[in-house]
Structure 1
Amino acid sequence: MGCDGGTIPKRHELVKGPKKVEKVDKDAELVAQWNYCALSQEILRRPIVACELGRLYNKDAVIEFLLDKSSEKALGKAASHIKSIKNVTELRLSDNPAWEGDKGNTKGDKHDDLQRARFICPVVGLEMNGRHRFCFLRCCGCVFSERALREIKAEVCHTCGAAFQEDDVIVLNGTKEDVETLKGRMEERRLRARLGKKTKKPKAAESVSKLDVGEANGSSAGKVGKPPCGATKRPIAASEESEAYKSLFTSHSSAKRSKEESAHWVTHTSYCF
C-alpha cells in the first residue's frame, strides 16, 4: 500500500484538518487605510475629506456617491452614514517634505517605501502613516497628531486659531472603540439638529399668524372711515368744492336752460322734405 515510487502517505496528507485562519497583514491594512479612499478604493488625492467616523475619502468620490440615486451602490456601506456633503469635512493637511512619491522610481528599479507618509503633523512633525494616532477638527478641518493635542493643550487650533470643543475632535482611522464613540456623538448631533428644526417651525408659524392678524386689523380699521351702504350721499351742489368743479356736473345752475333755450324734440332734417 503506497503511492507511486513506493512512498507511504502520512496522516496529515490524507486527513484534512481545520482551516487556518488567514491573518490580515497589518502593514497592508495601514497602507490601505491611510493611502486609499475608503469609498472608491483609489489613491487619496486632494481635496481629501473625512467623515464623522474618521474615514478618509476623495471628495469627488463622495459627490458621485451622493448624486448616484440607484439602489445598488458599490461599496455603499463605507459611506452609508453620509447623507449630504455637510456630513464630511475637507481636511487641511501638511505635506511631508521627505516624501518623494513616484518621482524617484521612474525606471522601476527602486523600492517604494510605503511607510513613508505624504503628510505630517505640523506641530511635532510625526508622519501620518498609521503608526501614530491622528485626528482632525470638525470646525476647521486641520489635522494634527493626538500627541500634539495632548501635550500642547489649548482651546484654539494650533494652525488657524479657530476655537473648538472636545466634541469637535475626531480620530482618523481609529479602533472599533473609537468608531463606536464617534458614532454615538454623530447620532446625538443629528438628533439635536432635527429637534432644533422642529422648534423653529412653530415659531415661524406664530409669526405668520401675527402678520395675518395685523393685516386683518388694518383692513378693518380702513373700513371704519368709509360710510355704510345705507348712508345718504350729499349732492355736489351742497358740497364745499369750487364752482369750477361744480360746473362740470349737470346739477349745477349753469347747466340748466330755460324752455326757450332748450331745443324741441322734433328734429328737422333734409330727409323729411
Structure 2
Amino acid sequence: MGCDGGTIPKRHELVKGPKKVEKVDKSAELVAKWKYCVLSQEKLRRPIVACELGRLYNKDAIIEYLLDKTAERPNTEAVVHIRGIKDIKELNLTDNPEWEGERRTAKGDRYEGHCGMFICPVVGLEMNGKHRFVYLQTCGCVFSDRAMKEVKTEICHKCGESFKYEDIVVLNGCKEEIEKLREKMEERRARVKTKKSKKSKAAETVSTPSEPKDDAQSQQVDVAEESSLPNGGESDQSGLDGPSGPSGSSTSSKDINTSKNSTSKRSIQEMEKSEAFKSLFTTHSSAKRTKAQTSNWVTHTPYHF
C-alpha cells in the first residue's frame, strides 16, 4: 500500500533517526527572567525584591508564600532558600523613560521584547538581559556591571551609602555565578549562627555568677532583720523619747552599746573579761545571796520598779 503512481520514498521518510533536542528561544528566556516573577509567573511590578541568589520576585508573592507555605504553588523550588523577609531585599530601580508598557496602544509595528522597564542610572543601559546587572545588599540600588567597573568606589552611585565587595549580588546570573552566590549565602548564615551562639553563651556566663551574689545578699538581709528584732522595742522607745527624754538627758553612744551588749545572747560571764569587770553585774557569783540572807518578800534580783 502506498507509493502509488511511481512515487519513490526517501530515506528520511522510512528510517527514523534520533529526535532533535528542542532549543529554547533565548529571547523568550530573557523576557521570562527579567520581566516576570519567578514564583508567581506574573509581570514584575513595584515593589520588586531580589533574593541572595539574584532572582527577581514581586514582593506580594513572596509575602503570600511566607504566610502560607503549605499552599500549592508552582515553582516553589526556586524559593526554598527564602526563610523570611530578612532573606530578600527590596530593589531601588531607575525607570526607563522609553518604556511605555501598557500605556502604548499595541499596533504591531514595534517589537518590545528587548526594551527594558528599568535602566542603569550611571551608564543608561537597559535592564533587559543583554547586559549584566548587579544590586547592593546594603541599600538595594541596581547598577550595570559596566558602571561598577568603570567607576570603582565603595560608595553607592545613587544614594551615597557605603558598601563592600561582598555586598554585590549579580542579578539572573549563570549557573556558576548562582553556585558562588549560594556558597556566600551559606557562609553568611553560618557566621550569624556562630555570633548568636556566642552571645547566648556570654549571657549565660553573666547570669550564673550573679545568682550566688543575690543569695548572699538575701542571707545578709535576713540576718540583719533577725538581729534587729530584739532591739525593736528599745529602738521604738528611744525614738519616742527623742534627744530630750523625761529626765532631759540625751542618749549617748555608750548607752546604745551597753543596751546591745545586754540584749545579746552571749552572757557576760562567758566573755573573756577580768573578774573585777564581771563582779559589776548581778550575774556574778558574788551578787547571789543565800536563802537565809534574803527575806520572803524580796525577789531573787532586787530590782524595784
TM (norm. structure 1) is: 0.81
Query: What is the identity, as a one-letter code, of the residue corresponding to 2:215?
Result: A
Consecutive unaligned residues of structure 1, counting only runs of 5 or more, are 244-273
1:134 corresponding residue in structure 2: 133
Matches within 5 A, 1:223-238: 223-227=222-226
Matches within 5 A, 1:43-122: 43-70=43-70, 72-106=72-106, 108-122=107-121
- 1:65, CA displacement in angstroms? 1.1
Q: Contact conserved, 1:105 with 1:112, CA < 8 A, in 2?
A: no
Matches within 5 A, 1:1-273: 2-70=2-70, 72-106=72-106, 108-227=107-226, 239-240=237-238, 242=240
Query: What is the identity, as a one-letter code, of the residue corresponding to 2:116?
Result: A
Query: What is the identity, as a one-letter code, of the residue corresponding to 2:221?
Result: G
- 1:218, CA displacement in angstroms? 2.0
Separation in 2, partners of 1:236, 1:198: 57
Of the structure 1 ranges 29-38 and 212-221, higher mean CA displacement relative to structure 2 is found in 212-221
- 1:102, CA displacement in angstroms? 2.3
Separation in 2, partners of 1:18, 1:237: 110
Higher Cα Rg, which structure:
2
Are the structure 2 counterparts of residues 237 and 199 from structure 1 closer, same or farther at C-alpha, using a change threshold of 3 Å? closer
Separation in 2, partners of 1:179, 1:234: 79
Separation in 1, partners of 2:141, 2:233: 83
1:156 alignment partner, SS class: coil
- 1:56, CA displacement in angstroms? 0.4
Separation in 1, partners of 2:32, 2:232: 94
- 1:223, CA displacement in angstroms? 2.0
Q: Contact conserved, 2:122 with 2:147, CA < 8 A, in 1?
A: yes
1:170 alignment partner, SS class: strand
- 1:242, CA displacement in angstroms? 3.5
- 1:16, CA displacement in angstroms? 1.0
Q: Contact conserved, 2:27 with 2:113, CA < 8 A, in 1?
A: no
Question: CA RMSD, aligned part only?
Answer: 2.4
Query: What is the identity, as a one-letter code, of the residue corresponding to 1:132?
Result: H
- 1:208, CA displacement in angstroms? 2.2
Are the structure 2 counterparts of residues 68 and 227 from structure 1 closer, same or farther at C-alpha, using a change threshold of 3 Å? closer
- 1:232, CA displacement in angstroms? 5.9
Separation in 2, partners of 1:150, 1:123: 11
Q: List per-residue Cα deviations over 1:109-165 (Å, max 9, x = no partner).
A: 443411111100000111111111000000000000000000100011011111111
Are the structure 2 counterparts of residues 224 and 147 from structure 1 closer, same or farther at C-alpha, using a change threshold of 3 Å? same
2:143 alignment partner, SS class: strand
- 1:9, CA displacement in angstroms? 2.2
Count the aligned residue pairs: 242
Q: Contact conserved, 1:99 with 1:116, CA < 8 A, in 2?
A: yes
Identity of aligned residues (%): 54
Q: List per-residue Cα deviations over 1:168-226 (Å, max 9, x = no partner).
A: 00000111111111111000000001111111111111222244233223212212322
- 1:67, CA displacement in angstroms? 1.2
Separation in 2, partners of 1:238, 1:61: 75
Separation in 2, partners of 1:237, 1:150: 85
2:226 alignment partner, SS class: coil
Are the structure 2 counterparts of residues 81 and 234 from structure 1 closer, same or farther at C-alpha, using a change threshold of 3 Å? closer
Q: Which has the higher contact order (CA 8 A, sep 6+)?
A: 1
Separation in 1, partners of 2:3, 2:167: 68
Q: Contact conserved, 1:49 with 1:88, CA < 8 A, in 2?
A: yes
Separation in 1, partners of 2:28, 2:112: 12
TM (norm. structure 2) is: 0.73
Separation in 1, partners of 2:28, 2:235: 105
